[in-house]
Amino acid sequence: MIFLLLSLIILFFLELVLGSVAIPYPEIVRILTGQGSSHDSWIMIIYNFRLPKAMVGLCAGACLAIAGLFMQTLFRNPLAGPDVLGLSAGAGLGVAIVVLSAGTAGASSILGNLGFFGSVGIAIAASFGSGLVLLMILAVSKRVQNSMTLLILGLMFGYTANSFISILMHFALAERIQAYTIWSFGSFGGATWDQIQVLVLFAVLGLIYSISLIKHLNVLLLGDQYAESMGLDLIRTRNKIFIITAVLSGVVTAFCGPIGFIGISVPHLCRALFATANHCILIPACILLGACLALTADIIASVPGYSITLPLNAITSLIGAPVVIWIIFSKSRNGMEVSV
Amino acid sequence: MLADDKLQNVDQDQVHPEYATGFSVEYHEGYKVVTVTKPWRGSDESYTYVLVKPGVSPPHLGKGEEIITIPSERFVSLSSTYLPYLPILGITSSLKGVTNTNTVYTPEVMNLIQEGKVIDVSGGGSGMATGINLETLIDLNPDLVMTYATGQPEYDAHPKLQEAGIPVVLNAEYMEEDPLGRAEWIKFISVFFNREKEANAYFEKIKNEYQSLEKSVHFLNGTNPTVFVNNNWQGTWNMAGGQSYVAELLRDAGADYLWSDDTTTGSIPLDFEIVYDKGQNADYWLNPGTAMTLQELLGEDARYSEFTAVKSKKIYNNNARVNAGGGNDYWESGVAHPETVLKDLIKIFHPEIVSDHNLVYYRHLE
């Protein structure tokens, strides 16, 4: 745990030090300690480009990892992640409606003057979309006892949202399709300070609240029937977990676009690292490791020293997938199977 | 009207590209051979078309050569960029189908669409080339379909059309990065209608205009204003490559494009911080996406306000002529009129040279 914390601190600094613009290390220290710099633009780059990006990456990684852990525990399914409820797809639909209509004269004058094509507008649209899917899930959840049924329903909501996105894309202008595609690549660099405050607030509140669920989560691992016999109000607990997952993953998707793989892979990594299923350990571990993975991916995606960038989403999968594969193989060699 | 039987070496009746590098035309007794050398980026195959009068068969057919009967009288255009040339060549009436009627800007074509004489052949939408309604297209019974190819089978329409036995030719004007080279594809289109004479006359006119504008900028003393283009989207800034169409225009208009040294033709995805570092003190900012007003632009990202070009309000966008469907005339008639686009740019960078010109394709963001 200490090692994870140290790694996180180092990665956070690396995120500030490494970037396309080469800023000497002593200058960065001077800028961060408020002593100014010989280049005004460097101060601007550190404070308005890299620091926000690092903060967003940290929060996004932590939130997604926790959301993934909760989904895997709730559905007792090692393949579950924050996107199984269809929330990311819902967010994507909200964004598609706004982004794909941009550039047409009618939409531009109305939405544009509301500032809707900016990152704030995109965030609002995404939250709205994932919120709508969440309401549907909660409405259905009251009637469904079995968690596995809900998992299927969530996937179906996701497919439905995605098919609407396809239809919208079919009718959109080519350059707007490109804009939507870029959003779907994911990025920590699109958020500005006023939005980061919102993201950090939600992330901190969500993560604190998640600690209160530790006991429930541990009981859930033993099975729905057993949990109920222990006096757990299954539906209420389930709804709490849904809401927190929706807030955590929804707010990240809103500001960063869909970031793949962190949610599904980090819980597995933590279980392997700490050899435990106890959420008391897993929650802080997921927060730290999720943030580490997100920052690592972002540092690679910004290709330090070069001016080009790579799609963040591709990098998260590229560094996450081999690790998970390795864990699965090393576990099977020891006669163990992947579990939740 | 040119007589069809005069496909002979009369100079005015022949086109030969000077700037365009993507096609060539050979004239023979009774037929013409048109070759498209590089139909898309990274393509290693060329396309050869043998153009004959109705009922005439050419002496020999090489491998992969296709016969097209000309002049075309039932023409379908799968890109709006070919449309402005039709009125110029006097062949608008042969147009029977287009894609994305809601984004078409050329007035003569819009009238035909409203009269129902030109049909929309898109698959109901305006996405990629896959959005073509093949049945509507076949029903039109075209004798020539002109389209572009990307080399990606899922987007390209021409293999499907060839399968259906429809005469289809590939136009690769978008591969030309020289503005005059791109406009010179009017000659390519003219060949299929025996309108070479009109194409030559038109191209000569815009070439002279373009070059005299270019010269007038050349004689200026003093330093050129610095400029950067496009905008940030989700932290990535797609900057036009140093050898791209946009960069060529900026150079010819007497501006110092900050990414001039770059060697790519397409666009390069950059980190926002690099663009800020290099462009914070630039004099001008052009083509910043879809914004129609300065307020809209600043709403997209508050960090834009740090640019000197924003503080001094020297931002110009190429969307002065956008219709309700989102069609931008800069990419339609603007391609056929590089001299007008150049004049716009000179008006922005060196207004004293073209003081009586009012911006056509560009708007000043205020």
CB contact under 8 A, A118 and B301: yes
CA–CA separation, A172 and A194 (whole Å): 30
- Structure-token pair, residue B134: 């093949």
Taking a C-beta distance cutoff of 8 angstroms, is the pair B341, B249 a contact?
yes
- Structure-token pair, residue A331: 């576990």
CA of A228 to nearest chain B CA: how many angstroms apart?
Answer: 45
- Residues contacting B158, CB < 8 A, separation 6+: B147, B149, B168, B170
Chain B positions in Cβ-Cβ contact with residue A173 (cut-off 8 Å): 103, 126, 326
Chain A positions in Cβ-Cβ contact with residue B318 (cut-off 8 Å): none
Q: Which whole-number Å values give the CA distances from A296 to A49, A273, A309, B31, B320, in the listed order?
A: 17, 18, 14, 63, 43
Mutate to test the interface with A, among B230, B277, B301, B310 (most CBs of A within 10 A): B277
Residue A334: per-residue pLDDT: 65
CA–CA separation, B153 and B14 (whole Å): 34
Residue A10: per-residue pLDDT: 92
Half-sphere exposure of A255 (CA within 13 A, CB side): 30
Torsion of CA A188, A191, A196, A200, to 10 degrees: -30
CA of A233 to nearest chain B CA: how many angstroms apart?
Answer: 42
Residue ranges of chain A with per-residue pLDDT less than 70? 102-120, 175, 333-340
CA–CA separation, B102 and B110 (whole Å): 9
Of B235, B276, B324, the CB nearest to A190: B235
Is omega for the bond preceding A82 within 30 degrees of 0, making it cis?
A: no
* Each residue's pLDDT expressed in tens, for chain B with a length of 366 residues: 444 444 444 566 899 999 999 999 999 888 899 999 988 888 888 899 999 888 777 767 676 688 898 899 999 999 899 999 999 999 999 999 998 888 899 999 999 999 999 998 887 544 444 568 888 888 899 999 999 888 777 677 888 888 888 899 999 999 998 999 999 999 999 999 999 999 999 999 999 999 999 999 988 877 899 999 999 887 788 899 999 999 999 999 999 999 999 988 888 888 888 899 999 999 999 999 888 888 888 888 888 999 999 999 999 999 999 888 778 899 999 999 999 999 999 999 999 999 899 999 999 998
Residue A294: per-residue pLDDT: 94
When computed from its CA atoms, the radius of gyration of chain B, rounded to whole angstroms, is: 22
